[in-house]
Amino acid sequence: MKTLIYMTILMVNFWFTANAHIATANPDTILGKWQNDDGRIIEFTKNQTAYDAFIVDAPDKKLIRAKQISGLVFDGNQYNNGTLYLIKKQKKVSCYAKIINDNILVITANNNYFSKSQTWHKVQ
């Protein structure tokens, strides 16, 4: 009986793990509109084999059409080698992104010794 319970748990875990991998293996999952913590709506587009993101709506309307991220490349697990434009600071920093599920994207910016992550939510 214990073996049957163990095997059932193992199979359920395998099923969830396999399905989670299938859901995140599509690099185009990042395409579309996402909202950041500042209330901006950012739209990811495909640029050959990389992904760029542009501001399409923001409380400060002067920011609309500004490029927020460029050059993210999907490696099978996450998006790497990107550049994040810190518009208010007039600065560029490296970044990477990871999709947690179809509705949550975590962007992490790296500036020398410091890094900061922000959670973005898919806009339906």
What 3-state DSSP class applies to 87? Answer: coil
pLDDT, residue 113, reads: 87
Structural domain for 93, as ranges: 2-122
Domain count, the chain: 1
- 67 phi/psi in degrees, rounded to 5: -80, 125
- Provide the Cα torsion 106, 24, 51, 37; round to 10°: -20
Residue 41's CATH number: 2.40.128.520
Taking only the tens of pLDDT, the chain with its 124 residues reads: 545 443 344 343 444 444 444 444 799 999 999 999 999 999 999 999 999 999 999 999 999 999 999 999 999 999 999 999 998 889 999 999 999 998 999 999 998 889 999 999 999 8
pLDDT, residue 112, reads: 84
pLDDT, residue 1, reads: 53
User: Hey, which residues does 85 pair with through a beta bridge?
Assistant: 92
- Provide the Cα torsion 31, 60, 82, 109; round to 10°: -120
